[in-house]
Amino acid sequence: MGKKLKSVYGTMISGISEGLTGSALYEYVTYNCQHASEKRICRASLLALADARVQDRSVLEHIYQLAVHNRLGALSRQA
């Protein structure tokens, strides 16, 4: 995992641990991480879903929600 992706991943996990979800979490990640892009947020979300250390169901659901919301938003902007 590269430094930029690791930075996005860490920011995303810290936002979730503060109780942020949905658009608030997305805004938190993009505001607090200068390397956050749609592609990196999606990749970091997938890495978090595959990470064995992340075991809390609600955290995994919020990560999944962020990845799907971010990806669908990118697709709708392309159309």
Q: What is the pLDDT of residues 50-70, one digit of tens each?
A: 888 888 888 888 888 888 877
Q: Report the phi/psi class of residue 20: left, alpha or beta, with left for phi > 0 and alpha for psi in -120 to 50.
A: beta
Tokens for 19, please give them: 């109780």
Question: Nearest-CA neighbor of 12 among 75, 35, 73, 71?
Answer: 35
According to DSSP, residue 5 is labeled: H
Q: What is the pLDDT of residues 27-37, one digit of tens each?
A: 999 999 998 88
Q: What's the pLDDT at 76?
A: 64
Please tell me the distance from the alpha carbon of residue 14 to that of residue 71, in angstroms, as a whole number. 21
Q: What's the pLDDT at 68?
A: 84
Tokens for 74, please give them: 């990118």
